Amino acid sequence: SRSRPYNFSAGPAAIPEEVLQEAAAEMLDWHGCGMSVMEMSHRGPQFESIIAQAEADLRELLRISDDYAVLFMQGGAIAENAIVPLNLSGGAKADYVVTGSWSQKSQLEARKYCDVHISASAHDEQGYGSIPDNAAWSIRPDAQYLHVCTNETIDGVEFHFVPDSHGVPLVADMSSHLLSRQIDVSRYACIYGGAQKNIGPAGLTLVIIRRDMLGHALPHCPSAFDYAVVAANHSMFNTPPTYAIYIAGLVLQWIKRQRFEGLSGLAAVEARNIAKAHLLYDALDASQLYETRVGRECRSRMNVPFHLRESALNAAFLQGAESAGLLQLKGHKSVGGMRASIYNAMPLEGVQALVDYLKDFEKHHG
């Protein structure tokens, strides 16, 4: 039996219940030091150990080599839309691939700081729902970087391959699928993401950056957003979001403990996410009432937007879902319809409960 409803929020999103319980148990007194993590100096030995463990666990889970710095920042991925060009464009050329609402926002913001070129764009009358053929992207050889969003949270478009950037440093917004699957960090010059989907609470931004990319910030880049400054100060140039880092650390430990079909850690989490996505997409594909608009080859394992063919049923669908203990299924306002976000913390049983509800609702309204 479960104590709480299943939460399909796109973010801030569900946190593993085990982690919430651990945090609750340690709320008043962390490991016998007499303080809550919220109350301790970021420069004290207790917090030093928390952030060092979190970084070590992140490096282990994603196999991040010493050639890369791990930065714990603030401002979210929307701030990174400016921070990336401020640090990496040199005020010169930067190329962007637009596969959804978030990469579209990224390229618009970058125009304040550099010469932006759209290497490829996937927008059509239906909105977003595909990734243009990588071989046909127009990448300027003298671009300082090529930016992609590898999981479009709103549109449900995920890269299931690492793009070939023809030697141009690859920068990726991985906000909504970082730590949902294994990745080859060495293929990227910079990876960033807000924590509030698979990693922890809002307020923490993770940046994983190859060290040779550091030290090229524009002179007017705020010091607190200069990757080289943040790296040199081990994410303590300013006060980092200490409590969010602590929770993220508990989530990383939780990921390391996961087991699924003989696998462990991130491999287990990835296999379970594949199983969850199959279960849900198969049910949607089999139905006459629901439809998905994203191409099969780039369907997101994390964010599953779908529409009721009869939109007049939307309100009844959402109300029934809530009564069945299935929360926050309403789609993003820009695309309408529904969206089920099934991040790491969503168990297989939660997706099964959603599939059961989809079938039941169709039986009564189809």
Q: Which residues bind ligand PMP (CB under 6 A)?
A: 11, 76-78, 102, 149, 153, 173, 175-176, 194
Closest to ligand PMP by CB, 89 vs 99, is: 99
Give me the least distance between CB of 10 and ligand PMP, in Å please: 6
* Number of neighbouring beta carbons within 10 Å of residue 21: 11
**Closest Cα partner for 282 from 352, 335, 221, 216?**
352
Closest to ligand PMP by CB, 268 vs 294, is: 294
How far is residue 249's CA from residue 353's CA, in Å, rounded to a whole number?
29
259 marked as binding residue: no
The encoded tokens of residue 96 equal 């962007």
How far is residue 94's CA from residue 218's CA, in Å, rounded to a whole number?
14
How far is residue 166's CA from residue 7's CA, in Å, rounded to a whole number?
40
153 marked as binding residue: yes
Give me the least distance between CB of 149 and ligand PMP, in Å please: 5
Closest to ligand PMP by CB, 100 vs 358, is: 100
* Number of neighbouring beta carbons within 10 Å of residue 1: 2
Active site residues: 102, 173, 197
| Contact in structure between 294 and 131 (CB atoms under 8 Å) | no
239 marked as binding residue: yes
137 marked as binding residue: no
| Contact in structure between 150 and 172 (CB atoms under 8 Å) | yes
Closest to ligand PMP by CB, 9 vs 287, is: 9
Closest to ligand PMP by CB, 81 vs 119, is: 81
How far is residue 79's CA from residue 207's CA, in Å, rounded to a whole number?
12
Give me the least distance between CB of 20 and ligand PMP, in Å please: 20
E strand or H helix that includes residue 120: strand 115-121
CA dist list (Å): 202 to 105, 106, 282, 287, 345 = 19, 19, 32, 35, 15
102 marked as binding residue: yes
Q: Which residues pair with 7 in a beta bridge?
A: 327
Give me the least distance between CB of 102 and ligand PMP, in Å please: 4
Name the residue with the smallest CB distance to ligand PMP. 76
Give me the least distance between CB of 348 and ligand PMP, in Å please: 23
Residue ranges for the known binding site are: 43, 102, 153, 173, 196, 238-239
